[in-house]
């Protein structure tokens, strides 16, 4: 189902207040994983039937997931139709139809389809971004591609039933993709009274052909799709819907009872050949419209050539500028590191249930820094502790010095206390000598021993000196200093 479909009992749009609980619930699923395979990265849209997410597979590939709301998934008939409708796009056999890659059931029983992931913008988003109207040449180029897809689909008996600017997607590569083939019909086929009564009208009123607005499902066919194509072009070129109305009911009433106004009465600047193609597509009677998509495409190409002087097939593709962010990526930019089970191609995503990716990245850096700092502190404490332990084992504080001093203290002098003295922090144990340096015995004194008066040193042992050694020195006549005689030493 596409956004904006008609809801039962009150007729509120899925984009209005009725969608708020659906939106909140869809947002709550972000960061979770479906079937241990698909990580929900970004919420792309929410409708009355399903929510669409950009997802990452555990092998790194990216895709989109359309997740049926739980209350819809409770009905077995809806589930079967959801799967069947999901394969309709594959049956179209055209690159302009979004491919369905896989289908499965989530842990809570919600059915989901996996489709190719598109990067770009819808024509409605482009119209609004450009100020409310698109250039005429771009509208013709995009519509030409849209009609190519419809030619393939109608040849297979597939009618879209919900064509509008929001369901025509322009990729960054310039491709035109048609979204939501047949999904809008699910409500009509549901028999669950809690959801929608059988036969309830579905679609978007502003783009409904008269027979569609009247609820005549059997009369909705290929020409109804062409009316929707004309209404899409009308909006893109004029900036307003075919039928004005403040409420859904007013739009439905206008669609049922009033023919579409000529485009030139609303947008007089549109070239006449282009307006003629659109006006015929919007004829009230099906028999007056283009008979099929191929005839409308041929007329559109003729109008393009008449206006621009060259063929539409030679026209350049519509390109997207940098101002169009990649909405399939969170924030349109890179993110933090993902859970290892969910690598991505282009942007990592946050692990399931965790904080946002950019928060996780900062947290990892902070934790890493804290761990490194902690390890450095532990290493330093271990080093200091080890050295202190070595000092305690090999050099008890002051023990060697005190013992040496105690041997030189006379018996009547009490030995100094052997209580270890605290060592200042800036002095390391390795800097203390294990054995005090040896000094001449004649100079060694106890710390508390009084200093003895100086005496004349005794002559050195050896041969008795001769008479010339008395005295053993000479006196310098100039300086008066004594100089020892070498032979008397």
CB–CB of 45/5 below 8 Å?
no
Farthest CA pair distance, the chain: 158
pLDDT tens by residue, 200-258: 556 788 999 999 999 888 899 999 999 999 999 999 999 999 998 888 889 899 999 99
Predicted TM-score (pTM) above 0.85: no
pLDDT in tens, the chain (489 residues): 333 333 333 333 334 444 478 899 999 999 999 999 999 999 998 887 889 999 999 999 999 999 999 988 888 877 887 887 777 888 898 999 998 999 999 999 899 999 999 999 999 999 999 999 999 999 999 999 999 999 999 998 899 989 999 999 999 989 999 998 755 444 444 433 333 334 455 678 899 999 999 988 889 999 999 999 999 999 999 999 999 888 888 989 999 999 999 999 999 999 999 999 999 999 999 999 999 999 999 999 999 999 999 999 999 999 888 888 888 887 544 333 333 333 322 233 333 333 334 434 444 455 556 656 666 665 666 555 555 444 444 444 444 333 344 444 444 444 444 444 444 444 444 444 444 444 444 444 444 555 555 555 554 444 454 556 777 777 777 777 777 676 666
Q: State the catalytic residue, choosing from 119, 162, 180, 279.
A: 162
Is 240 strand, coil or helix?
coil
Split into its structural domains, the chain has a count of 1
Q: Which candidate, 156, 220, 161, places its Cα nearest to that of 185?
A: 161
Within-domain flag for 216: yes
Please check whether residue 157 lies inside any domain of the structure: yes
- Residue 174 — left, alpha, or beta (φ > 0 → left; ψ -120 to 50 → alpha)? left
Strand partners, 64: 54, 115
CB neighbour list of residue 164: distance below 8 Å, 6 or more residues apart? 2, 4, 124, 204, 206, 207, 228, 231, 232
* 10 within domain boundaries: no
Stated as kind and residue range, the H or E segment containing 72 is helix 70-73
- Catalytic residue at 103? no
In a domain, 297, yes or no: yes
Residue 65 near residue 57 (C-beta atoms within 8 A): no
Contact 336, 348 (CB under 8 A): yes
Assess if residue 460 is contained within a domain: no
Q: What is the CATH classification number for the domain harbouring 46?
A: 1.10.510.10
9 phi/psi in degrees, rounded to 5 = 55, 75
Written as six digits, the tokens of 123 are: 């024509």
**Paired tokens of 308:** 């621009």
Q: What range does the domain containing 62 cover?
A: 17-328
In a domain, 33, yes or no: yes
CA–CA dist 90, 71 (Å, integer)? 26
384 lies in a domain?
Answer: no
Classify 427 as helix, strand or coil.
Answer: coil
Interatomic CA distance for residues 1 and 186, integer angstroms: 7
- Residue 155 in any domain: the answer is yes
100-105: strand order across its sheet: 33-34, 38-46, 50-57, 62-68, 111-115, 100-105
């Amino acid at each position: 189902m596409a956004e904006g479909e008609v809801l039962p009992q009150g007729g509120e749009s899925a984009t209005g207040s009725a969608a708020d609980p659906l939106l909140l619930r869809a947002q709550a699923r972000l960061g979770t994983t479906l079937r241990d395979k698909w990580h929900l990265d970004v919420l792309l849209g929410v409708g009355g039937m399903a929510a669409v997410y950009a997802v990452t597979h555990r092998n790194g590939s990216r895709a989109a997931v359309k997740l049926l709301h739980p209350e819809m998934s409770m009905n077995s008939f809806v589930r079967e139709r959801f799967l069947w409708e999901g394969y309709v796009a594959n049956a179209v056999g055209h690159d302009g139809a979004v491919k369905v890659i896989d289908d499965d059931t989530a842990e809570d029983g919600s059915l989901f389809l996996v489709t190719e992931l598109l990067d770009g913008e819808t024509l409605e988003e482009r119209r609004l971004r450009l100020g409310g109207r698109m250039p005429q040449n771009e509208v013709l180029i995009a519509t030409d591609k849209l009609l190519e897809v419809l030619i393939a689909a109608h040849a297979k008996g597939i009618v879209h039933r919900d064509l509008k600017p929001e369901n025509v997607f322009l990729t960054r590569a310039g491709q035109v993709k048609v979204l939501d083939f047949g999904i809008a019909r699910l409500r009509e086929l549901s028999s669950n009274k809690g959801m929608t009564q059988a036969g309830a009208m579905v679609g978007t009123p502003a783009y409904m052909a008269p027979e569609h607005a009247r609820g005549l499902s059997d009369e909705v066919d290929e020409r109804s799709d062409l009316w929707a194509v004309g209404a899409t072009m009308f909006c893109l070129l004029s900036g307003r819907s075919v039928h004005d109305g403040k409420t859904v009911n007013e739009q439905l009433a206008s669609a049922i009872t009033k023919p579409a106004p000529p485009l030139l009465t609303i947008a007089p600047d549109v070239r006449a050949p282009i307006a003629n193609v659109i006006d015929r597509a919007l004829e009230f009677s099906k028999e007056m419209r283009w008979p099929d998509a191929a005839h409308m495409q041929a007329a559109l190409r003729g109008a393009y050539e008449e206006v621009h002087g060259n063929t539409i097939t030679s026209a350049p593709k519509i390109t997207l500028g940098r101002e169009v962010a990649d909405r399939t990526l969170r924030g349109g930019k890179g993110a933090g590191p993902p859970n290892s089970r969910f690598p991505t191609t282009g942007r990592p995503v946050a692990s399931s249930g965790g904080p946002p990716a950019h928060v996780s990245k900062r947290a990892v850096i902070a934790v890493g820094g804290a761990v490194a700092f902690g390890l450095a502190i532990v290493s330093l404490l271990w080093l200091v502790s080890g050295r202190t332990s070595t000092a305690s084992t090999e050099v008890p504080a002051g023990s060697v010095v005190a013992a040496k001093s105690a041997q030189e203290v006379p018996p009547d002098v009490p030995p100094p206390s052997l209580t270890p003295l605290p060592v200042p922090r800036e002095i390391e144990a390795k800097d203390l000598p294990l054995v005090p340096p040896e000094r001449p015995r004649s100079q060694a004194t106890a710390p508390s021993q009084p200093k003895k008066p100086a005496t004349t040193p005794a002559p050195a042992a050896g041969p008795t000196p001769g008479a010339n050694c008395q005295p053993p020195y000479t006196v310098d006549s100039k300086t008066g200093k004594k100089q020892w005689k070498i032979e008397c030493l």
